[in-house]
Amino acid sequence: MTGEVHAVGRGVARHDPSSRRALRRWLIAGVATVGFLVAALVVSAYLGATFGVQTALLALAAAALPLGIVIPTFLWLDRFESEPTRYLVFAFLWGALVAAVVAAVFNTSAIAVLEVAADPDAAVTATAVVVAPVVEEALKGVLVVLVWRFLGHEFDGVTDGMVYAGVTAAGFAFTENIQYLAQAYTEGGGEALTATFVARCLLSPFAHPMFTVLIGVGVGIAASSRGWIPRVVAPVVGYLLAVLTHALWNLAAVTAGAGLVTVYLLVEVPVFVAFVAFVVWARRREGLLIGQFLRPYADAGWLAPEEVAMLSSMARRREARLWARTNAGARGLTAMRGFQDVASELAMLRRRIHHDAADSHALEQERALLVALAARREVFVGMPVG
């Protein structure tokens, strides 16, 4: 392993994308932007026509509040090796616009079809318990699969799968909450709006993310596996578990009646506690993985052992940033942040190489990252280690 690290050399990797590749990226970005704008217009037109502009805006403001809890949670999970902001924004918009609109069409159609054979209440219950989980989890989960397949260099395993799944689900829940809150206010005024806000935005803001995170875990396992069997089976199992937990959650909500509080305390709260524990474990695990895959670079002289220890602990990272700012001012702080980000990216790249999941440009990327690591260290220390 050490010899392999030495073999990458110390030159900066250069890769100039062709004009055709750049044009393709711009075309994809343009199509995505137009698609999101169209979906946003559809959602806005529907909410305005159905509930009125003022009610829709009131519901939007209320639905935005739980985002202040949910999104920071997944950003906290993503601290060791942060995903590009543009991809997280794309994930949120996919959930809030594309997945929400398509799911609304499927669910509404299912209710209309089921009402032919059953009474309206039974049709709504069947859609909530059977149709909605299958459709909604598929629409949210496909974004995670797309990131894995087409942005593999940005997808490093279970933690990234959880982050993309959670942000996508947060976007979906945001749009869904707007509809439920607006409907509650239209039908029951401020009292109904308050009750719906408490139930959906305060007591269960992590509901959708908890379901879809299971898909993210499955895709993350697939992304870090060598054989084709786990790459196929893990995402499918994650999807089925997401559908099952979503269905059970909806079943409890629509059938509990007066016992809803009991169901919430005995079922939903323990599920949420388990979810939080898993998130904390996933973040700690990522720190350990970073330390594990950076050690060969310390053996090769690119990093000091103390730096590896610092980079594998978020608390020590904060201490290092404080030291860099004290030692070299704002420029040193910026360099230390860059050093930590590059090191995390390097560790995750080495992990993909270890699991035979890296692309053909892996060694080229490794060279560039090692050079960038040394350059940033020189700013806050003055002399590279290697």
Question: What average pLDDT does the segment 367-372 reach?
Answer: 92
pLDDT over threshold 50, residue 4? no
What are φ and ψ of residue 144, in 5° steps?
Answer: -65, -40
Predicted confidence (pLDDT) per residue in 103-129, tens digit: 999 999 999 998 887 788 888 889 999
Q: Which residues contact 252 (CB under 8 A, 6 or more apart)?
A: 260, 263, 267, 268
Report if residue 125 sits inside a domain: yes
Residues 50 and 164 in one domain: yes
Q: Which residues contact 179 (CB under 8 A, 6 or more apart)?
A: 47, 59, 104
How does residue 20 score in pLDDT terms, banded at 50, 70 and 90? low
Question: What average pLDDT does the segment 199-221 reach?
Answer: 93
Task: Name the amino acid, one letter, at 304.
Answer: A
Overall domain count for the chain: 2
Q: Of 232, 255, 278, which one is at a domain's C-terminal end?
A: 255
pLDDT over threshold 90, residue 146? yes
Report if residue 386 sits inside a domain: no
Residues 134 and 226 in one domain: yes
Both tokens of 368, joined, read: 């560039």
Per DSSP, the three-state class of 38 is helix
Higher pLDDT, 386 or 104: 104
pLDDT over threshold 90, residue 176? yes
Residue 151 CA to residue 267 CA, distance in Å, equals: 37
Residues 247 and 298 in one domain: no
Higher pLDDT, 55 or 261: 55
Per the CB < 8 A criterion, the answer to whether 91 and 70 are in contact is no
Taken as a whole, the chain contains a residue count of 386
Reference 284, options 242, 248, 307, 315; nearest CA is 315
Residues 100 and 203 in one domain: yes
Residues 232 and 114 in one domain: yes
Give residue 346's domain range.
291-380
Residues 195 and 325 in one domain: no
